[in-house]
Amino acid sequence: GNSVTQMEGPVTLSEEAFLTINCTYTATGYPSLFWYVQYPGEGLQLLLKATKADDKGSNKGFEATYRKETTSFHLEKGSVQVSDSAVYFCALGGSGYSTLTFGKGTMLLVSP
């Protein structure tokens, strides 16, 4: 079956620190990979995606590279801001999949 494993949180960082949130997956077929973000009081929204191996998704200073050899899609940002505090979800799915399979989410807390 399909599954997504994320590092457990919360991840606590100071502003301008480097961020990595690990995500690995198990899937049948060739999924697309996604990062969704949930800001406090809001619904989940797509942050970035990659549709095939070696693709890099990027948005708002975040990036993640689809690594088929390590079945990973780690989220990175070079310098986090307080406004990045949120819960981040890694997911797989896309064409050929009826829905998305999500990880448990990782809470990020950024302090000034």
Partner 1 sequence: GAGVSQSPSNKVTEKGKDVELRCDPISGHTALYWYRQRLGQGLEFLIYFQGNSAPDKSGLPSDRFSAERTGESVSTLTIQRTQQEDSAVYLCASSLEARATGELFFGEGSRLTVL
Binding site for partner 1 (CB under 8 A): 4, 32, 34, 36, 41-46, 49, 89, 93-105
Q: Which is nearer to partner 1, 32 or 112 (CB)?
A: 32
Q: Which is nearer to partner 1, 70 or 98 (CB)?
A: 98
CA-to-CA dists, residue 57 to 7, 20, 60, angstroms: 19, 14, 11
Bridge-partner residues for 107, per DSSP? 87
Residue 83 phi, psi (nearest 5): -70, -10
Q: Which is nearer to partner 1, 93 or 110 (CB)?
A: 93
- Measured from the CB of residue 18, what is the shortest distance to partner 1 in angstroms? 25
Cα–Cα dist 53/17, whole Å: 28
- Measured from the CB of residue 79, what is the shortest distance to partner 1 in angstroms? 27
A 10 A CB-CB count for 31 gives 24
- Measured from the CB of residue 106, what is the shortest distance to partner 1 in angstroms? 10
